[in-house]
Amino acid sequence: MCLLDAETTHIIDADEAWCRLFDYACAHLQQLAIDELVIDTHALNLACAAQGTTRARWRRRDGSGFLAEVGASRLHVENKEIIVLSLRAPTTARSDVQRDPLKYIARTTCQQAALLRLFSHQEQDFVPRIRRILRTAAETLNVACASYWALSKSSALICCESINLESDASSIGSVLTQAEHPRYFAALLSRRLIATDDPRHDPRTAELYPRHLQPHHIAALIDVPVVVRDEVTGVLRLEHVGQHRWTVDEQQFAALAGTLTTLAAKAQRLERTEQALRESETRFRTIVEAAPIPMVVVTVADGRCLYGNGAAANTLGLAQDELVGSLTRDFYLRPEQRETVLTEIAEKGRLAGRELELKRADGSPLWALLSIEPIPFEGTNALIIAFSDVSRSKQIEDKLRHIALHDPLTGLPNRALLHDMLRREIAHARRTEGYRFAALFVDLDAFKEVNDTLGHDAGDELLVRISSQMQACLRPKDVLARMAGDEFTALLTDVTEPAQVYRIAERLLAAVAEPRMLRDQPVRISASVGVALNHPIDDEHTIVRRADRAMYRAKEQGKARFVTDNLA
């Protein structure tokens, strides 16, 4: 929370959370006007005027921007008008997942696959490695340009390699000097990643904007310092044309691409000896260990784990030293899954974004999204496997699917799911000579009177009880669906003779007609049932319409009975 002088907009006081968010001491904040913290002053003015909430962009002490919701209200204290501001925390990777979990999974899966491709290619020469990193990063993050700049001894950045996906323009040979861009160089030499979606106003990049960014319509960029032996030796730059808000996972991917660039720069300085190889493998382990994505390296021959990071051990429910030496077959739910995976890798060269149901060390289920790349590791043919636990997302998908296909009151399949089942039955009947099935359309007689006399809550209770009793009349392989209101359809599969269907129709009539007490009131109700056996001309709609027409004839004949459609 922050208090402003309404007349001058200077900060009077701020709580500890506000100070931490902007990285200022409270005494320092009290010397600032609110305009020095907010980028979208117009949005803030609207919030203050309306005493409501709005979304605005803010600026921390280090110049980095973030988006947050601000609420404003006004108070009068000792004849002085005070504005009270409150902020909701900035958007995080977790809120990205909550807003669109499927989009987040697709994006991070693409990033995992890209990292695996980079890990699996071990070019010895510096330039090919840098070019591969730049192209992969540009394509994965969908940016216009990715470039590598080397820092000279004279404190100038020189563009050495550039990949431009949107034009033939090249920034190779461009120079940025510390004398002309002191604030940018100060931010870069702090060795912290620079990610901005407002380079024009971000103090770290504002010096670059007029000459180097605005002419190319760059509206968002990420700069990752390349640090060798505790010194910044260059920068990996990713430039986006048009507005774009960098997500946390995109920044993490850029940082990992920068780490690979750092490894390439270090390898350039080392002789190609066994010591260099060992150091490279150690750094590879360091990258994988630091990555938030679970990763393991296993042998192709028998699936024995050669290495696994802490994230993988935690996800699988093992200590990290227990993971090494374990066999991947112990984590597949079914043994044949591993052979299927190996076959696909042999055919396609790798596996990306495959969803599999695995199991943890304690046997509990684990839905995982896997990406696998072949790599040489410690002198043997191996596979590096990156996987994400998508169990929660799977549960959400299953729940949404159930909601979409079932009636919320009775829990029965709804019309959409019934039509899907009917389509499968019709296809089976066309493939299998002599196969029969039937649809029974059930409508409760005078159900409206229950709603009118006892109320809709009582009517809902009656529908639940009757649907349960009707289900008990069916065979295990049959299905009862609620179509709408007091209308139900029973799908009877694998019918051997019409008499079998008629007996079930009689049982349904008897179940509905049973006397009941509802809200301490005796209730008697009946049903009219229309029966339709399948016919070669049927689709999922016509067989239901035939049963519906037969039901109406049952009502015309006095209700509380079933009538068979005569087409079959």
How would DSSP label each residue in 414-435?
-HHHHHHHHHHHHHHHHHSTT-
H-type alpha helices, 415-532: 415-431, 447-454, 456-473, 498-513
Measured CA to CA, the distance from residue 442 to residue 304 in angstroms comes to 59
Helices then strands, counting H and E runs in the chain, come out as: 18, 23
**CB 437 within 8 Å of CB 493:** yes
For the chain, the average pLDDT equals 84
3-class secondary-structure state, position 327: strand
DSSP state of 358: E
**CB 400 within 8 Å of CB 512:** no
Percentage, residues of the chain above pLDDT 90: 33
The amino acid occupying position 528 is S
- Domain covering 125-271 assigned CATH 2.60.120.200 in the classification: no
pLDDT digits (tens, 9 = 90+) for 503-537: 999 999 999 999 888 888 888 899 999 999 999 88
* Higher pLDDT among residues 279 and 461, named by residue: 461
Q: Quick count: other Cβ atoms within 10 Å of Cβ 514? A: 11
Strand partners for 177: 156
Helix (H) or strand (E) holding 526: strand 526-533
Q: Is the alpha carbon torsion for 18, 20, 23, 24 positive or negative?
A: positive
Lowest mean pLDDT among 277-291, 337-351, 458-472: 277-291
Domain with CATH 3.30.450.20 in the chain: 2-90, 294-391
**CB 524 within 8 Å of CB 447:** no
Per-position b or e across 330-346, b if 16+ CB within 10 A of its CB: ebbeeeebbeebeeebe
Q: Return the structure tokens found at 556.
A: 């015309």
The amino acid occupying position 340 is T
Measured CA to CA, the distance from residue 335 to residue 157 in angstroms comes to 54
pLDDT digits (tens, 9 = 90+) for 346-401: 888 888 878 888 888 888 888 888 888 888 887 788 888 888 888 777 777 767 77
pLDDT at residue 194, rounded to an integer: 93
Measured CA to CA, the distance from residue 339 to residue 522 in angstroms comes to 63
Percentage, residues of the chain above pLDDT 70: 89
Q: What is the CATH number of domain 406-564?
A: 3.30.70.270
Q: What is the CATH number of domain 2-90?
A: 3.30.450.20
pLDDT above 70: residue 40 = yes
Domain with CATH 3.30.70.270 in the chain: 406-564
Lowest mean pLDDT among 100-104, 319-323, 552-556: 100-104
pLDDT above 90: residue 224 = yes
pLDDT at residue 479, rounded to an integer: 93
**How far lies 63's CA from each of 17, 60, 205, 430, in Å?**
18, 5, 9, 69
pLDDT at residue 103, rounded to an integer: 76
Residues in contact with 143: Cβ distance below 8 Å, sequence separation at least 6, in sequence order: 137, 165, 238, 239, 240, 241
DSSP state of 559: S
Measured CA to CA, the distance from residue 475 to residue 227 in angstroms comes to 71
**How far lies 139's CA from each of 114, 143, 169, 251, 259, in Å?**
9, 7, 17, 15, 18
> Where residue 93 falls among pLDDT bands split at 50, 70, 90?
very low
Q: What is the CATH number of domain 294-391?
A: 3.30.450.20
pLDDT at residue 62, rounded to an integer: 82
Measured CA to CA, the distance from residue 297 to residue 369 in angstroms comes to 16
